[in-house]
Copies of this chain bind each other. A is one copy, B any other.
Amino acid sequence: MNENPSPFRTAEQREADRESKRLAVLTAAARMFNERGFHATSLDDVAASLSISKPTIYHYLGNKEQVLLGCLKIGLTELLEAAEAARQAPGNSADRLKNFLAHYAEFNLRDFGRCVILTSEGDMSAQNAALFRADKRRIHDMIRAMIEDGQRDGSIVCEDANLFALTLAGALNWPARWFDPALGRDASELVRRMIDILASGFLPRKA
């Protein structure tokens, strides 16, 4: 709204500028990685989709792996923060879990979330794979902790919280493979219904 009267940008503006360009590169890259796979996507393709040249990407990000890691960082950070927040949300454990799962599953259908889901550890160095695995593990552990809370307060029934967490996450990860936002399907509606399915199972309930 308020126009900047001077054509000269401040240091902060320049920094923000740079950051927004970096983010644009990462977003474009994440989309193409998700669409065609990491190995099948060349940085020339990514550059072309932004009408820039490949060395420009190298100006903002050191190499192809850094591009991938940048995408993952954004996705994992969001997920970890959401999981942190979910643990101290109101309601019983089952409600907290369901709310978090909805957030988790919806995010998995967006650019950076999808990238976290679709990337496999073989696409990066062994060191970074270990870090990636560790972050995914933290998310898994937080889901498991919510389930265990539910077992204690009686709002969740299950035998093996660990396997349960794996099963839930698997079911909610899979749409990242097939969901196409362009088809107009409503993502939040979709995940809500999937979570209800997972909550209830398919065997008849007497009650």
A residues contacting B by CB (< 8 A) are: 35-37, 39-40, 94, 97, 120, 122-123, 147, 150, 154-160, 163-164, 166-175, 177-178, 190, 193-194, 197-207
CB-defined contacts of A198 to chain B, threshold 8 Å: 167, 171, 198, 201-202
- Indicate how many identical chains form the complex: 2
Assembly CA distance A168 to B155 (angstroms): 23
- Name A205's closest neighbour in chain B (CB-CB): B205
CA distance A160 to B133 in the complex (A): 35
Q: How far is the CA of A154 from the CA of B37 in the complex (A)?
A: 43
Residue pair B203, A199 in contact (C-beta under 8 Å) = yes
30 chain-A/chain-B pairs, Cβ below 8 angstroms: A35-B122, A36-B122, A37-B37, A37-B120, A37-B122, A147-B202, A155-B203, A156-B204, A157-B203, A157-B204, A158-B202, A163-B190, A163-B193, A163-B197, A164-B197, A164-B202, A166-B178, A167-B171, A167-B198, A170-B175, A171-B198, A173-B174, A198-B198, A199-B201, A199-B203, A201-B201, A205-B207, A206-B206, A206-B207, A207-B207
